[in-house]
């Protein structure tokens, strides 16, 4: 029987999804990346060499695996070209026989990137975007003038499509920097280039997913960024422009919710990170934060920005478990906290005179004002890499996992960046209990 599993970030992104996707990929026949664009990045290791993919699903590493870039994605043709080129150099097959793009995905135009950069450069409220043009692309989509990959079929329509974009975007660009707006003819040329890049890959991906389900294939739906950055359910307005939650897999893959079997959330264990603007109740500063940032390599995969670091927030995690209906949690990077004597875990917030336990009882501005209530867990000094079974974990780690499991079942614990540094408690694709590797 086919298993359909959605994997999402349960925090603010950068939870280490890339590694878990890689592990689950071994059991999947198809991977579907369903939302976002090149504002997200997965770190993967190919032949011992680290590389970052922003658009192409990391499942591309597995020979023969089909990879789909879904309906709700925002695709930058230059990034796609560069990424497929870099993968080809590493002898990875990126041919249209195994890589498919939905005709409903939107194209990130250069003017969207220009506008993103001008906005972030202007004074005022900063969301802290990656300046990859993703926000403006989704704005054009909502305004019904966005250009979709499927629009590239007929160049006779390019003039009309470009005019729609121009009318929407030119006034703001002109206001931010006079004469920066390119001519319509340049945008038409850009579409012709995008046509050459994307068209070979265009497919009816919704139909492909349905067919795959019926023929018993296992499917992994890969979310980008994290739950707390979701356009609707994140810490609005400090959010991304797309759906990052498990439910987004339905819209972004062109299927219904009854199709999905499991939703697994990835979260760092014991600490968490955030980049960009917005509230971060458990954020810490100083030497300990610096130590965790360094040990955990907490610098943005897309921008290289240092990530803010804080303790694990179970108020936020419980919320993530709810809005994603998580059936499991994959916990990563616990090894980073080795040697830290006490690990505080946030279990509630104090806000004015109240104790708050539901993340969504407060908005982003209230969250700036809360004081976290911590439960303290003793740390560990043991090398977790030597541990093969859950039962062999240090007692202090077991106590921490037990507390997290009040929220959702822990299905995997990652104790290092390598595949073999993983303890699998339960594999959502195939029942494997307490085995060190798949």
Per CB under 6 A, 401 contacts ligand GDP: no
Question: Which residue in 22, 29, 42, 151 is the catalytic one?
Answer: 42
- Sort strands 308-311 and 328-332 into parallel, antiparallel or unpaired: unpaired
Which residue among 3, 4, 19, 33 contacts ligand GDP (CB under 6 A)?
A: 19
Contact flags string 274-313 toward ligand GDP, x per CB under 6 A: -----------------------x---x------------
42 is catalytic: yes
Closest CA to 347 of 325, 369, 370, 363: 370
Per CB under 6 A, 18 contacts ligand GDP: yes
Contact flags string 41-80 toward ligand GDP, x per CB under 6 A: xxx-------------------------------------
Q: Shortest Cβ distance from residue 40 to ligand GDP (Å)?
A: 6
In angstroms, the CA 105 to CA 32 distance is 13
Which residue among 4, 8, 15, 247 contacts ligand GDP (CB under 6 A)?
A: 15
Q: Which stretch, 149-157, 172-180, 329-337, 352-360, contacts ligand GDP (CB under 6 A)?
A: 329-337
Question: Is residue 313 within 8 Å of 12, Cβ to Cβ?
Answer: no
Q: Which stretch, 9-17, 169-177, 372-380, 425-433, contacts ligand GDP (CB under 6 A)?
A: 9-17
Q: Shortest Cβ distance from residue 9 to ligand GDP (Å)?
A: 6
Residue closer to ligand GDP (CB basis): 145 or 388: 388
Question: Is residue 258 within 8 Å of 292, Cβ to Cβ?
Answer: no
Contact flags string 133-172 toward ligand GDP, x per CB under 6 A: ----------------------------------------
Per CB under 6 A, 333 contacts ligand GDP: yes
Per CB under 6 A, 25 contacts ligand GDP: no
Residue closer to ligand GDP (CB basis): 19 or 66: 19
Per CB under 6 A, 222 contacts ligand GDP: no
Per CB under 6 A, 132 contacts ligand GDP: no
Which residue among 137, 327, 332, 427 contacts ligand GDP (CB under 6 A)?
A: 332
Burial grade of 132 (CB within 10 A; 0-12, 13-18, 19 or more): buried
Q: Shortest Cβ distance from residue 175 to ligand GDP (Å)?
A: 35
Q: Shortest Cβ distance from residue 121 to ligand GDP (Å)?
A: 26
Which residue among 11, 16, 250, 347 contacts ligand GDP (CB under 6 A)?
A: 16
In angstroms, the CA 230 to CA 11 distance is 10
Longest CA span, the chain: 67
361 is catalytic: no
Q: Shortest Cβ distance from residue 94 to ligand GDP (Å)?
A: 20
In angstroms, the CA 355 to CA 371 distance is 10
Residue closer to ligand GDP (CB basis): 17 or 119: 17
Q: Which stretch, 12-20, 236-244, 346-354, 425-433, contacts ligand GDP (CB under 6 A)?
A: 12-20
Q: What is the number of alpha carbons within 13 Å of residue 304 lying toward its C-beta? A: 0
Per CB under 6 A, 11 contacts ligand GDP: no
Size of the site for ligand GDP (CB under 6 A): 20
Which residue among 148, 416, 426, 432 contacts ligand GDP (CB under 6 A)?
A: 416
Enzyme catalytic residues = 14, 42
| Residues of the shown chain interacting with ligand GDP in the complex, contacts defined by CB under 6 A | 9, 14-19, 41-43, 297, 301, 332-333, 335-336, 414-417
């Amino acid at each position: 029987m086919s298993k359909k599993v959605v994997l999402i970030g349960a925090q603010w992104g950068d939870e280490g999804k890339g590694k878990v996707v890689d592990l689950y990929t071994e059991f999947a026949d198809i991977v579907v990346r369903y939302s976002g664009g090149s504002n997200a990045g997965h770190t993967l290791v190919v032949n011992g060499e680290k590389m970052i993919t922003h658009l192409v699903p990391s499942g591309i590493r597995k020979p023969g695996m089909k990879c789909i870039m879904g309906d709700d994605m925002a695709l930058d043709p230059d990034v796609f070209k560069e990424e497929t080129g870099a993968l080809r150099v590493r002898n990875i097959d990126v041919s249209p026989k195994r890589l498919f793009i939905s005709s409903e995905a939107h194209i990130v135009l250069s003017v969207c990137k220009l506008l993103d950069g001008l906005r972030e450069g202007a004074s005022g409220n900063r969301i802290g975007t990656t300046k990859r043009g993703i926000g403006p692309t989704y704005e054009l989509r909502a305004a019904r003038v966005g250009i979709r990959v499927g629009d590239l079929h007929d160049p006779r329509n390019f003039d009309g499509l470009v005019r729609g974009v121009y009318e929407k975007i030119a006034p703001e660009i002109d206001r931010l920097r006079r004469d920066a707006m390119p001519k319509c003819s340049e945008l038409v040329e850009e579409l012709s280039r995008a046509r050459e890049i994307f068209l070979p890959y265009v497919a009816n991906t919704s139909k492909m997913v349905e067919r795959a389900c019926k023929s018993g294939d296992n499917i992994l739906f890969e979310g980008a960024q994290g739950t707390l950055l979701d356009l609707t359910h994140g810490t609005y307005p400090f959010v991304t422009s797309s759906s990052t939650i498990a439910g987004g897999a339905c819209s972004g893959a062109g299927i219904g919710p009854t199709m999905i079997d499991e939703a697994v959330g990835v979260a760092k264990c014991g600490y968490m990170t955030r980049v960009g603007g917005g509230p971060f109740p458990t954020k810490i500063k100083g030497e300990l934060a610096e130590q965790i940032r360094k040990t955990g390599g907490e610098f943005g995969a897309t921008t290289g920005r240092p990530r803010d670091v804080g303790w694990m927030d179970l108020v936020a995690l419980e919320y993530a478990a709810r809005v994603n209906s998580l059936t499991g949690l994959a916990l990563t990077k616990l090894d980073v906290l080795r040697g830290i004597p006490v690990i505080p875990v946030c279990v509630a917030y104090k806000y004015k005179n109240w104790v708050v336990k539901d993340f969504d009882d407060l908005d982003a501005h209230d969250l700036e004002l809360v004081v976290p209530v911590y439960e303290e867990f003793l740390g560990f000094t043991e090398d977790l890499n030597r541990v093969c079974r859950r039962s062999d974990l240090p007692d202090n780690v077991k106590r921490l996992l037990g507390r997290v499991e009040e929220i959702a079942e822990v299905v995997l614990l990652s104790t290092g960046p390598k595949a073999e540094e993983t303890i699998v408690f339960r594999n959502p694709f195939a029942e494997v209990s307490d085995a060190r590797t798949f």
